[in-house]
Amino acid sequence: MPPGAGAGPGSPYLNPYLAGMGLGLVLLAAFVLVGRGLGASGAFSSTLSWLVNLVAPAHAQANLYMQDYLGDGTTHPLKAWLVFEVVGVAAGALLSGLLAGRARFTVEKGPRVSTAIRLVCAFAGGILMAFGAHLARGCTSGQALTGGALLNVGSWAFMLMVFVGGYAVAWFMRWQWR
Amino acid sequence: MRVPQLTLNQKLAAVALALGAVALFSQPHRGPFVKLDARELALVVEQEVDHVKPAELAAWIVEGRSDYRLIDLRTTDEFAAYHIPTAENAQLPELADYPLLRNEKIVLYSEGGIHSAQAWLLLRAQGYEGVYTVLGGLDGWKDEVLFPVLPVDAGPRDRAQFERAAALAQFFGGQPRTAGAAAAEAPATALPKLTAPVATGPAVPAAPRKKKKEGC
Amino acid sequence: MMTPFYKYGLFGDEVSLLVAFLLGLGFGFFLERAGFGSARKLAAQFYLYDMSVFKVMFTAIVTAMLGVTYLGWLGWLDLDLVYLVPTNLGPQIVGGLVLGVGFVVGGYCPGTSVAALATGRLDAVVYALGIFAGTFVYAEVYPAIQGFVNANAMGQVTLPEVFELPWGLVVFAVVVMAVVGFWGATLIERRFRSEP
């Protein structure tokens, strides 16, 4: 079986087109109910701003970027739309994983790389991802999916570059996945 | 002749292409054309729920309420010379694109009341529900709030009312008058400077460090 | 019947948070259904033997795009009231490149990392920690790079607006591109799976 296609125990994955339609309908529901799309990176910003504010409030409140997520103090930074949405994502994914028997403690990696190195790469990837998402004002959920459906110029440009960036380095990272 | 059996994916693709083709003719945006419920609007006007009195508005400003948007429809120069505290400036043509929320209270005023009434109709026609005009416009504001007049033969109740109005006038930098005495004076030249004691009329709708609400 | 309901005052901020959670529930559910709780499946996109990321993403885009088009056309959705993230071309292009690299290095994107850590992937937890670290660094350097971050501001613009084409034409073009893309992706998959 080719690696990556329903690998490991549990039910086979859903037809990608059906899964995509499901996602698309959830996105559409967001548009109709709340007038905005989905997202994820903003939740990380809110949570981080809240954490830094707990530990070093003066620094957090003086920081130009975190100010946007802390607001004027009248609302708790974690009482943000995206934070609640992301908690939902975790819950929904867990539900699906449990139903399909795919939830288990594991480290996703290719056969040739060690767990330690994989985790280092994961951490590094996260850092890069943070920069990318904040520069672009969104990640694949917020920009690509949401903006893509709304034919947003910046989102389509972003989406294109994500694929370009990914394919450009794929060759150099193949030892991690193949 | 046998029709070839399509796989699920092929059926999905066919449906998508069909929907896409029909969408070629779509016009999903609102556009400038509106639909009016004439009867409903007439009723609103008749019941006088389409305006607020200047004194009412003054009370909102004093209370520091933030659940309304006050729009001044006059020119930028007129706005700069004087405007009701907490007002924003927007002319009629740009009102359609102005960032107003559908679910907030929008209060309009102009010099007298004509432009604000027209703007009221235009906004109502575009689906905004909580739209009001200031009764009498800026003229009404001047008469009722800034320069309240104590009538010549005022009884005790009138006096009490005048005291309250006078206090309000002081708050906004106006000047209470007694009838007859300085009636001939043109109070228009004595419009208070814009160092009003209330919160400044922000050009940006949101309070300064409001949390980032939209975006990802 | 005017929507978006929230923008017409049907419910307030508190309820919208509940709605956020429920939408997230659906989002996470379908992400995992598609297999995006697995870094290997996600990364496979960039090795061409599993193009699910492309298929799922563009199917979702086409579905929602057709949805807003038809709902707007019927007058059931006020498309002008749906929030459009403003375009800043320079930073978004650079951001996309960096994100793409992060995708292959880390194996996730923010949304899928949450889906993955919820199903027990420890590397996703580490990845999420990386996002926090990266966000912190970003926040620290933000004042210095502000100029770039806000460069090439085009406001809220759509492809039809910029290319001065009718909305429907762009929608049709996207659908056609997607369907052709899916067919091509399947061909590519077959080719790269048969290779050792």
Which residue shows structure tokens 């003086």?
A: A62
Tokens of residue A175, six digits? 């030892």
Among C45, C85, C39, C105, smallest CA distance to A130 is for C105
Mean of pLDDT values over A144-157: 95
Q: Which chain A residues are Cβ-neighbours of C111 within 8 angstroms? A: 38-40, 86, 89, 139-141
pLDDT confidence bin for B199, thresholds 50/70/90:
very low
Q: Tell me what percent of the residues of chain B surpass a pLDDT of 90.
A: 28
User: Which pLDDT belongs to residue B185?
Assistant: 47
Tokens of residue B5, six digits? 């059996």
A157 vs A144: CA distance, rounded Å: 9
Residue in chain A closest to B208 (alpha carbons) equals: A72
pTM of the model: 0.83
- Amino acid A110 reads G
For residue B193, pLDDT beyond 80: no
- In tens, the pLDDT along B134-146 reads 999 999 998 888 8
pLDDT confidence bin for A127, thresholds 50/70/90:
very high
Its ipTM equals 0.94
Mean of pLDDT values over A138-152: 92
Residue C68, CA distances (Å) to A141, C78, C97 in order: 17, 9, 29
pLDDT confidence bin for A73, thresholds 50/70/90:
confident
- Closest partner residue to A24 among C59, C95, C103, by Cβ? C59
C56 vs B6: CA distance, rounded Å: 21
C33 burial via Cβ count (<10 Å: 0-12, 13-18, 19+): buried
- Closest partner residue to A31 among C82, C115, C167, by Cβ? C82
Q: Does A127 touch chain C (CB under 8 A)?
A: yes
Q: Which chain C residues are Cβ-neighbours of B216 within 8 angstroms? A: 85
Q: Tell me what percent of the residues of chain C surpass a pLDDT of 90.
A: 82
B96 vs B45: CA distance, rounded Å: 22
Q: Which chain C residues are Cβ-neighbours of B214 within 8 angstroms? A: 83
- In tens, the pLDDT along B100-139 reads 877 789 999 999 889 999 999 999 888 888 899 999 999 9
Is the Cβ pair B216, A77 closer than 8 Å?
Answer: no
The dihedral region occupied by B136, where left means phi > 0, alpha psi between -120 and 50, and beta the remainder, is left
Query: From start to end of A32-110, where are the E strands?
Result: none
Among C130, C113, C37, smallest CA distance to A131 is for C130
Is the Cβ pair B23, C179 closer than 8 Å?
Answer: no
B216 vs C6: CA distance, rounded Å: 18
Query: Most A CBs within 10 Å: which of C101, C136, C148, C175, as the mutation test of the A interface?
Result: C101
- In tens, the pLDDT along C128-176 reads 999 999 999 999 999 999 999 999 999 899 999 999 999 999 999 999 9
- In tens, the pLDDT along A108-121 reads 888 888 999 999 99
Is the Cβ pair B211, A70 closer than 8 Å?
Answer: yes
